[in-house]
Amino acid sequence: MQEDVFAAVTAALERGEPAALVTIVRTQGSTPQRVGAKLLVFADGQTVGTIGGGCYENDACGKARDIIRSGRPRLVRYELSDDLAAESGLICGGQMEVFIEPIEPAPPLYIIGAGHVAYHLARVAHEVGFRVHVTDDREKFANRDRFPQAVEVAVESIPAWLHRAELPPYAYAVIVTRGHRHDLDALAALAARDLKYLGLIGSRAKVARLFDALAAESMPAECLRRVHAPIGLDIGAVTPQEIAVSIVAELIAVKYGKAVSGDDRTGPGSMKWTPRHAHEHE
């Protein structure tokens, strides 16, 4: 059973999928599992392994999912009382401590567009631990010479690639294409997906135009309000290198729960957006 847990941890790290590992570190009295028993918990509630089953394992799973979001480990103590034993269908009455620690792999970052900002963004993001994927329809820009650190460089029509690509819910995506049409196509493909982060480069005026265009095509407003736009933290960035730094700073903030998106953002660079038609009845 332990081999299954270790294999699942390895696979999660290779995929870039976050998880939390629950390990029994101390027992006293009668307990269903010994010290060292492990349970791997994923964000969607799937598990590998066991620490004995019952209500306390369900409770540990819930705490593990919280720890996946917070990134902070925790030591939890359980009193396996007669009532809990009866409820769990277990014959035990001891005490047990479990250590719950986050498994934090390099998160996947999908860079849509391979221009100047993307070039510097890929370099900086790779240095701080992201697994970089790049896509663009121009081989002159999207190639291994420019993005040697990327795990994937795709040369394909951006809408076609995005339609085919399966971005996991723990993925980060950044739209930095060369023009409004490509930005609109990418945003249309990604805005409704469940992603850890979605950012769009551009001025407030440009972002508002793109949002209005998608709202006119029945894109739900709540999907658009989750988008980080204008992208990056407001550090006064001007050059492509500085803009890349501002974007990576925001990615790191989201990774550690220090920033939120869309209409919940209150810091620099946030934008309140309301569909234009919403004002027609005011």
Q: Distance between CA 146 and CA 153 in Å, rounded? A: 10
Does residue 3 register a pLDDT over 50? yes
pLDDT for position 54: 80
Q: What are the DSSP calls for 84-136, one per residue?
A: HHHHHT-----EEEEEEEEE-PPPEEEEE--SHHHHHHHHHHHHTT-EEEEEE
Count of domains observed in the chain? 2
197 shares a domain with 264: yes
- For residues 66 and 113, state if they share a domain: no
- For the segment 146-171, the average pLDDT, to the nearest whole number, is 94
Same domain, 98 and 130: no
Of 72, 103, 134, the domain-final residue: 103
**Domain match, 34 and 117 both:** no
Confidence band of 5 (pLDDT split at 50, 70, 90):
very high
Q: What is the pLDDT of residue 93?
A: 63
Tell me which of 51, 72, 103 is where a domain ends.
103
Residue 122 has pLDDT above 50, yes or no: yes
Question: Do 163 and 232 belong to one domain?
Answer: yes
Residues 82 and 164 in one domain: no
Q: Do 169 and 232 share a domain, yes or no? A: yes
Could you report the per-residue pLDDT of 192-246, keeping only the tens digit for each?
999 999 999 999 999 999 999 999 999 999 999 999 999 999 999 999 999 999 9
- Tell me which of 10-24, 67-81, 255-269 is least confident: 255-269
Min mean pLDDT across 41-45, 86-90, 212-216, 227-231 is at: 86-90
> Is the pLDDT at 74 greater than 80, yes or no?
yes
Q: What is the mean pLDDT of residues 107-124?
A: 97
Tell me, yes or no, whether 99 and 160 share the same domain. no
Residue 120 pLDDT class (50, 70, 90 cuts): very high
* 99 plus 122 within the same structural domain: no
**Whole-number percent of the chain with pLDDT over 70:** 87
pLDDT digits (tens, 9 = 90+) for 253-275: 998 888 654 444 433 334 555 55
Average of pLDDT values for 174-201?
A: 95
Shared domain for 191 and 83, answered yes or no, is no
231 and 277 part of one domain: yes
* Of 67, 87, 103, the domain-final residue: 103
Domain span holding position 245:
108-281
What is the pLDDT, as a whole number, of residue 270? Answer: 45
Residue 77 has pLDDT above 60, yes or no: yes
DSSP string, 220-250: -HHHHHTSB-S-S--S---SHHHHHHHHHHH
How would you list the strands of the sheet with 152-155, edge to edge? 152-155, 131-136, 108-112, 172-175, 197-200
Q: Is pLDDT at 280 greater than 50 in this prediction?
A: no
| Helix or strand (DSSP H, E) at 161 | helix 158-164
Q: Which of 73, 82, 170, 6 is nearest to 60 (CA)?
A: 73
CATH number at residue 218: 3.40.50.720
Check pLDDT > 80 for residue 55: yes
What pLDDT shows up at residue 171?
A: 94
The pairing of strands 172-175 and 108-112 is parallel
Report whether pLDDT(278) > 50: no
- 30 and 162 together in one domain: no
